[in-house]
Amino acid sequence: MNWRYNSSQSHQVFAWRAALLVSLLVPVVHSHAQTQAAMNAQARAEFVRADAELNKTYQAVLAKLRDTESKQKLKETQRAWITSRDAAAAHAADEAGGGSMAATIRYETMTELTQQRIKELRTRLGENGTPREGGTVTPPPSPEPQKSAETNTATETTAEPNSTSLSPDKKWQHIGGEEPKILKADTKQVVLDLWEQGPGGVLWAPDSKRFALKRSPGHQSSLYQLRDDHWVALESPEDKAFERVDAVVAAQLKRKGLSKKTSLRSLWWTVEADQWVDASTLVVHASLAERVNRGETDAEDLDFGGDFLFTLKFDDAGNWKIIKTHRMSDKEVEKRGE
pLDDT score of 208: 96
Highest-pLDDT range among 48-52, 210-214, 255-259: 210-214
Query: Mean pLDDT across the stretch 8-20?
Result: 46
State the average pLDDT over residues 74-87.
83
The reported pLDDT for the residue numbered 8 is 40
Report the relative pairing of strands 222-227 and 230-233 from DSSP bridges: antiparallel
Q: For Cα atoms 195, 200, 205, give the angle at the middle one, nearest 5 degrees.
A: 105
pLDDT of residue 298: 53
The pTM for the full model equals: 0.58
Long-range contacts of 334-338 (CB under 8 A, 24+ apart): 336/285, 336/307, 337/153, 337/154
Residue 255 phi, psi (nearest 5): -65, -25
Mean model confidence pLDDT for the chain: 75
In tens, the pLDDT along 131-140 reads 443 333 444 5
Instruction: Compute how many other C-beta atoms are within 10 angstroms of the C-beta atom of residue 197.
Output: 17
Q: What percentage of residues in the chain have a pLDDT greater than 90?
A: 25
Q: What is the C-alpha R_g of the chain?
A: 21
pLDDT at 13 over 50: no
Of residues 200 and 121, more confidently modeled: 121
pLDDT tops 80 at residue 99: no
Contact 136, 120 (CB under 8 A): no
Residues 237/274, Cβ–Cβ less than 8 Å: no
10 band by pLDDT with thresholds 50, 70 and 90: very low
Name the most confidently modeled range: 43-57, 127-141, 189-203, 238-252: 238-252
Q: What is the pLDDT of residues 146-197, one digit of tens each?
A: 433 333 323 233 334 345 689 999 999 998 877 788 999 989 899 998 877 7
Distance of CA 235 to the CA centre of its chain: 12
pLDDT at 216: 55
Strand ranges of the sheet holding 230-233, from the earlier edge strand across to the other edge: 200-204, 210-215, 222-227, 230-233
Q: Is the Cβ–Cβ distance between 103 and 90 less than 8 Å?
A: no
Rounded CA-CA distance 306/328 in Å is 8
Rounded to an integer, what distance in angstroms lies between the CA atom of residue 105 and that of residue 27? 10
Residue 59 has pLDDT above 70, yes or no: yes
Identify the pLDDT of residue 322. Answer: 97
Count H helices and E strands in the chain, helices first. 6, 12
Q: pLDDT digits over 269-323, tens only? A: 888 899 999 999 999 999 888 887 665 555 555 788 999 999 999 999 999 999 9
